Amino acid sequence: MFQPKPITLSTNKVTLRPLSEEHLHDFYQAGSFPEIWRWSLPDKCTSLATTKEWLQYSQEMTDKGEHVPFGIFDNETQEFVGSTRFCTIKPDDRNVEIGFTFITPKYQRSHINTHAKYCLLKHAFEDLNAIRVEFKTHEQNKKSRNAIARLGAKFEGILRNQRILSDGTFRNTAIFSVLEDEWPVVKKELEEKL
């Protein structure tokens, strides 16, 4: 059965570990830069209490089998540098989304995102037998859209007014995907970047 579960995944440079409340202070420190949350309101790190609520929500979603969140660690420094997760899990269709990703500013535009997403894509296609992995981001978040495209995901279009953000604005969402038959080429290109 297609059901992602908490697991540790790694490359030579990055380790993804199941996210839990024990990561509270590290998550808060890594995420305490308001610019990280500009396109994905609400800000999960406005306070330690807000971060704790987010981690508790994440655990509830894990318990329901709806999300599988990870902490991202840089292997060289052992530093908690961000978070990502499997979400929008559709067992009957063997589809999953990789989302809720943030990387602390010091590690943006480094090896972290490529290695973390490689771990998740490889696990989704090769261990879970996914037929589709999708990515979504705010239509105007050019940095995120470029990062997703660099992974080899194909842009599919804009989902209009797809979400209401905490400030009351409507979010148009850019959606990308990688399909099962595209994975061998995407994998090869990612491995060249690793």
> For residue 169, what pLDDT band results from cuts at 50, 70 and 90?
confident
Q: How many domains does the chain have?
A: 1
Say if 2 falls within a structural domain.
no
pLDDT at position 43 is 86
pLDDT tens track for 30-41: 999 999 888 777
Please state the pTM of the whole predicted model. Answer: 0.95
Say if 188 falls within a structural domain.
yes
Whole-number Å distance between alpha carbons of 160 and 178:
21
Range of 181's domain?
9-193
Burial of 180: CB neighbours in 10 Å, binned 0-12, 13-18, 19+ = middle
Say if 129 falls within a structural domain.
yes
Read off the tokens for 94.
Answer: 């063997």
Whole-number Å distance between alpha carbons of 68 and 83:
11
DSSP string computed for 169-185: PEEEEEEEEEEGGGHHH
User: Tokens 């771990």 map to which residue?
Assistant: 119
pLDDT tens track for 121-135: 999 999 999 999 999
Query: For residue 59, what is the domain's CATH number?
Result: 3.40.630.30
Say if 4 falls within a structural domain.
no
Say if 1 falls within a structural domain.
no
pLDDT at position 165 is 84
Say if 78 falls within a structural domain.
yes
Q: What is the mean pLDDT of residues 84-113?
A: 95
> Within a 10 A sphere around the Cβ of 73, how many other Cβ atoms?
23
Whole-number Å distance between alpha carbons of 16 and 148:
18
pLDDT at position 37 is 87
Rounded mean pLDDT of the chain? Answer: 95
Residues sharing a CB contact under 8 Å with residue 53, sequence separation 6 or more, in sequence order:
none
**Res. 8: pLDDT tops 90:** yes
